[in-house]
């Protein structure tokens, strides 16, 4: 394996584990401390969310940018915690509240994680041809909408 491919693999692996640790930490604080969810359930949810979200970040982040990918991560975290929590959590846990708070804090952390990906993992992610920009917008101005010309025509 070439040195460049090896370095790329190391960067992606490091980024994956950073995301996993961040997700476990956020879910442990939100779900474990505030809602009393077991650490085993937190690890299961964190592992599934991290794998799906990391693959999504690799493809979505260069196309939509930081905010778009963070919104996607919020939706994924909310749905993931809600669906998995409804199966794993005790009946006394408010699953929707837990899912919303978890998703909110995960999305906030993702804003910083996406910067890390852009700066340390992706190559040439800020090039204009990496995502669609619409720079060819034009405006029109005609006489029909100019009230001053209408007044001049009447006099």
Question: How does pLDDT run across 67-100, given as a tens digit for each residue?
Answer: 999 999 999 999 999 999 999 998 888 999 999 9
**Of 11-15, 82-86, 106-110, 138-142, minimum mean pLDDT range:** 138-142
In the chain, DSSP finds a helix count (H) and a strand count (E) of 5, 0
Supply the pLDDT for residue 139: 65
Q: Based on the structure, what is the number of domains in the chain? A: 1
In angstroms, the CA 49 to CA 51 distance is 6
CA distances from 38 to 30, 51, 78, 88, 90 (A): 12, 21, 18, 9, 10
Q: Which domain holds residue 138?
A: 3-154
In angstroms, the CA 41 to CA 27 distance is 10
Among residues 71, 68, 60, the alpha carbon closest in space to that of 103 is found at 71
Region 121-132 average pLDDT: 60
Q: Given pLDDT bands bounded at 50, 70 and 90, which one contains residue 130?
A: very low
Supply the pLDDT for residue 3: 78
Q: What is the pLDDT of residues 104-120, one digit of tens each?
A: 999 999 999 999 999 88
């Amino acid at each position: 394996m070439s040195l460049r491919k090896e370095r790329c693999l190391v960067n992606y692996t490091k980024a994956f584990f950073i995301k996993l640790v961040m997700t476990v930490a956020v879910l442990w604080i939100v779900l474990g401390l505030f809602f009393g969810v077991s650490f085993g359930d937190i690890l299961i949810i964190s592992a599934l969310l991290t794998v799906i979200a990391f693959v999504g970040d690799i493809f979505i982040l260069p196309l939509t940018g930081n905010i778009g990918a963070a919104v996607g991560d919020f939706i994924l975290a909310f749905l993931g915690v809600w669906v998995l929590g409804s199966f794993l959590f005790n009946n006394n846990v408010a699953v929707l509240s837990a899912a919303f708070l978890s998703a909110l804090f995960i999305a906030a952390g993702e804003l910083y994680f996406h910067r890390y990906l852009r700066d340390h993992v992706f190559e040439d992610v800020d090039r204009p041809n990496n995502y669609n920009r619409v720079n060819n917008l034009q405006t029109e101005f005609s006489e029909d909408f100019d009230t001053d010309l209408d007044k001049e025509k009447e006099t």
